[in-house]
Amino acid sequence: MSRLNLTARVFACKLKFMPLKTIESFDVKFLRIIAENGVADSALLPPLNDADYKKIYEAMILARAFNRTALALQREGRIGTYASILGQEASQIGSALAFDDADWLIPSFRESGVFIAKGYPLWMLYRYWMGDERGMKCPENLNIFPMCVPVGSQITQGAGVGMAMKYKGDKKAVGVYFGDGGSSRGDFHEGMNFAGVFNAPVVFLCQNNQWAISVPRSRQSAGKTIAQRAAAYGFEGIQVDGNDVIAVYKATLDAVTKAKNGNGATLIECFTYRLDDHTTSDDASRYRAKEEVEEWKKKEPLIRLKSFMEKKGILTKDYEDGVANRCEAAVHKAVGEAEAFPKPVPSDMVRHTSKDLSPRQVNELKEHGWESKQS
């Protein structure tokens, strides 16, 4: 036997009996800073001062007032189908405030709190929920995409925006929002894969509110967390207590900083709960136990933040009442502005699909007695 053949046989034997080895392993961290009783882990608190905590609190109160009024308006027939944010304010506001104004945010249809946290005009939000797409014409000083109604499609858009930022050399980050239901779509995997491969500065924010309409989280994935899926795409995933607004803020700020330093994407799973129906067209009592909802009501985010601020001595009765009154007044004013805004004319449905209306479109509008002036 030649030496070459002998060497080959020895090598083959070594391959045959080579033991299994671990190529890569991962763990998933869970972050909570403020316990349900309002006691905070001081070692984990981000560098926020009393004014910062008040800003967060005021945004949450305003978001809740907006939400409460929107639900009332829908029941009165003054707006269309609406997606409540009750119970998810911490996940939305804590994350949104961690982004700079130059960063980009891409929301789904349940992110009214994100818009409010960034200072989006309230009347425009109400106008949108009244069925007027002009309400999503974002002011020049804000970088927020229109609400995305198709479930999950905004995730690939977020990856694309992040890739574009990297190619341009912008020191910015993009935050893309979706729910646990959205994480079950193919768009989720495609967007995550592109962000991982191209090291894009994207923060994927999954609000795991436990229910994709009537489908529970347990029937969507056998994995223990949604956050762990990030490992398959080559970047970090973390699960955070989505009812702890300060933990959400810190996790998002860390992810934004990492993205801007060229260290790629992060998947943040905000573990929270949808206290209301999926939308005003849904009846969650048909598939959720009342006892489950009642247990989660005890954990809702505003209770925890108020307890924390009371312990710090920065939440007084006078301050609390003052904030509530200002927010109610702001919401009332916004509703009036939204309802007073000139209603769209039928030709608006086609006016911006091309540079000019076609002769056929003009004639059809005239036949129906609708305004056909081009602008």
Q: Sketch the domain layout of the chain as residue ranges.
A: 27-344, 345-375
5 or 230, which is more confident? 230
Residues pairing with 202 in the sheet: 174
Q: Does the pLDDT at position 375 exceed 50?
A: no
Contact between 70 and 129 under an 8 Å Cβ cutoff? The reply is: yes
pLDDT digits (tens, 9 = 90+) for 148-196: 999 999 999 999 999 999 999 999 999 999 999 999 999 999 999 999 9
List, in order, residues 6 or more apart from 26 with CB less than 8 Å away: 228, 231
Can you tell me the distance from the alpha carbon of 360 to that of 371, in angstroms, rounded to the nearest whole number? 14
Contact between 79 and 129 under an 8 Å Cβ cutoff? The reply is: yes
Give the pLDDT of residue 16.
Answer: 60
pLDDT digits (tens, 9 = 90+) for 33-78: 999 999 999 999 999 999 999 999 999 999 999 999 999 999 999 9
Can you tell me the distance from the alpha carbon of 63 to that of 57, in angstroms, rounded to the nearest whole number? 10
pLDDT digits (tens, 9 = 90+) for 320-367: 999 999 999 999 999 999 999 998 877 777 766 777 878 888 888 788
| DSSP labels, 157-192 | HHHHHHHHHHHHT----EEEEEETTGGGSHHHHHHH
Give the pLDDT band of residue 2 (cuts 50, 70, 90).
Answer: low
Can you tell me the distance from the alpha carbon of 155 to that of 146, in angstroms, rounded to the nearest whole number? 13
11 or 69, which is more confident? 69
Closest by CA to 348, choosing from 339, 335, 361, is: 361
Least confident of 54-63, 82-91, 128-137: 128-137
6 or 307, which is more confident? 307
Element (H, E) at 149: none
Crossing angle of the two packed helices 50-75 and 317-340, in degrees rounded to 10: 40
Residues pairing with 268 in the sheet: 205, 238
113 or 6, which is more confident? 113
Element (H, E) at 258: helix 245-260
Q: SS3 for 22?
A: coil
Q: In this prediction, what percent of the chain has a pLDDT beyond 90?
A: 83
Average pLDDT over residues 6-35: 77
Q: In this prediction, what percent of the chain has a pLDDT beyond 70?
A: 93
Task: Say which CATH topology domain 27-344 has.
Answer: Rossmann fold (3.40.50)
Average pLDDT over residues 274-292: 96
Give the pLDDT of residue 374.
Answer: 46
Pairing of strands 29-31, 104-106: unpaired
| DSSP labels, 55-114 | HHHHHHHHHHHHHHHHHHHHHTTSS------TT-HHHHHHHHTTS-TTSEEE-BTT-HHH
Can you tell me the distance from the alpha carbon of 165 to that of 202, in angstroms, rounded to the nearest whole number? 10
Active site residues: 274, 278, 287
